[in-house]
């Protein structure tokens, strides 16, 4: 079977490499002009689905959409979804409703967590998803408010680690890539990073040390973890990503959505945030998402084209290190190997059905 890893970097343009570092959304329930712009002009690495953008009315509609998108991509796309269970689910009609992590934490049955993750992954895989942005592994306080709330398995690090490892196993068995989130931990804050920047005085690095060997992808949290960096939030912190996370993790580091207020406060544009996140050590950037209580903006395909151009310009002017872009690109290609994600390389593209 053809392996993407045997392709040399010289076969890809800088525009293609940068495009592969972006996960975006587009408005439409079928392949359309917006999707074509993002795939053909930006060469995006992935598409994230939302109910409000893509309908997600039935397994049949989703499967057709995923198939038509993949047929247009030179390099297979990540097709991603937030499908945590409980209140954070995008796939509803025609899919099994699973409870929140908090419920699994109360039951505390590792086998049940593994089996439910497997079933969720299997259902997602059958309609074209290869990336589920879960599980949440943030540790919440025993008492007091937490913005993460019932998305967490609980307040016991041992329990969270054990159940999260079972979830990782289930997702893998079900045929999808999963993603630990949100490094280095945002569970202790009552502030929602969609709305503002959370600040924590503790971090969950010890938990991640147990889970990183079993994971292919880690999502950064938009959090000011003062125990590690008093100036930059984790997504934008070289100290956190390059000094703490990268030495113990050779997989893909993905940002949380860059349209969230928690990460936008110190920058004038999303382009500036995207460049800073790549410079800090993120491999993959989520540019998808929309307003939450008016706090965040939604990016159009034309906005993404501008951001892509700005990143390319930053590499050409050495504001971003070209070798770092190459390393991120290689990690993404490695994760997209057919043997790991059940995808194949389409070098020409074709018209959608």
Quote the DSSP letter at residue 141. Answer: P
* 3-class SS of residue 174: coil
Strand duo 83-85 + 88-89: pairing? antiparallel
**Quick check: 166 and 160 in contact, CB under 8 A?**
no
Catalytic residues: 194, 256
* DSSP codes, 265-306: TT-SSHHHHHHHHHHHT-SBEE-----STT-S----HHHHHH
d(CA 39, CA 291): 24
> Token digits for 335?
């994760």
**Quick check: 174 and 118 in contact, CB under 8 A?**
yes
The residue among 69, 194, 205, 195 whose CA lies nearest residue 137 is 205
* 3-class SS of residue 184: coil
Sign of CA dihedral 165, 171, 173, 176: negative
């Amino acid at each position: 079977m053809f392996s993407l890893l045997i392709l040399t970097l010289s076969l890809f343009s800088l525009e293609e490499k940068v495009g592969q570092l972006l996960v975006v959304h587009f408005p439409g329930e079928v392949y359309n002009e917006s999707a074509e712009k993002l795939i053909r002009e930006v060469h995006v690495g992935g598409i994230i689905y939302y109910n409000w953008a893509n309908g997600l009315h039935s397994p049949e509609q989703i499967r057709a959409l995923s198939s038509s998108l993949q047929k247009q991509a030179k390099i297979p796309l990540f097709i991603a979804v937030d499908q945590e269970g409980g209140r954070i689910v995008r796939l509803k009609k025609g899919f099994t409703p699973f409870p929140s992590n908090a419920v699994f934490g109360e039951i505390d049955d590792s086998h049940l967590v593994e089996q439910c993750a497997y079933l969720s992954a299997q259902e997602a895989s059958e309609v074209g998803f290869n990336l589920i942005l879960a599980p949440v592994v943030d540790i919440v306080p025993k008492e007091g408010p937490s913005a993460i709330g019932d998305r967490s398995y609980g307040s016991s690090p041992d329990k969270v680690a054990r159940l999260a490892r079972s979830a990782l196993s289930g997702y893998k068995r079900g045929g999808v890539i999963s993603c630990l989130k949100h490094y280095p931990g945002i569970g202790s804050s009552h502030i929602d990073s969609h709305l503002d920047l959370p600040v924590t005085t503790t971090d969950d690095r010890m938990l991640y040390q147990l889970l990183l060997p079993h994971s292919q992808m880690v999502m950064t949290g938009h959090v000011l973890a003062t125990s590690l960096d008093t100036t930059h939030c984790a997504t934008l912190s070289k100290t956190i990503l390059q000094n703490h996370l990268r030495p113990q993790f050779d997989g893909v580091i993905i940002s949380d959505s860059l349209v969230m207020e928690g990460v936008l406060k110190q920058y004038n544009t999303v382009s500036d945030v995207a460049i800073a996140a790549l410079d800090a050590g993120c491999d993959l950037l989520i540019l998808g998402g929309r307003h939450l209580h008016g706090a965040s903006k939604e990016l159009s395909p034309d906005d993404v084209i501008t951001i892509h151009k700005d990143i390319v310009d930053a590499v050409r002017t050495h504001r971003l290190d070209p070798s770092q872009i190459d390393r991120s690109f290689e990690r993404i290609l490695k994760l997209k190997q057919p043997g790991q994600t059940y995808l194949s390389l389409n070098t020409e593209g074709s018209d959608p059905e």
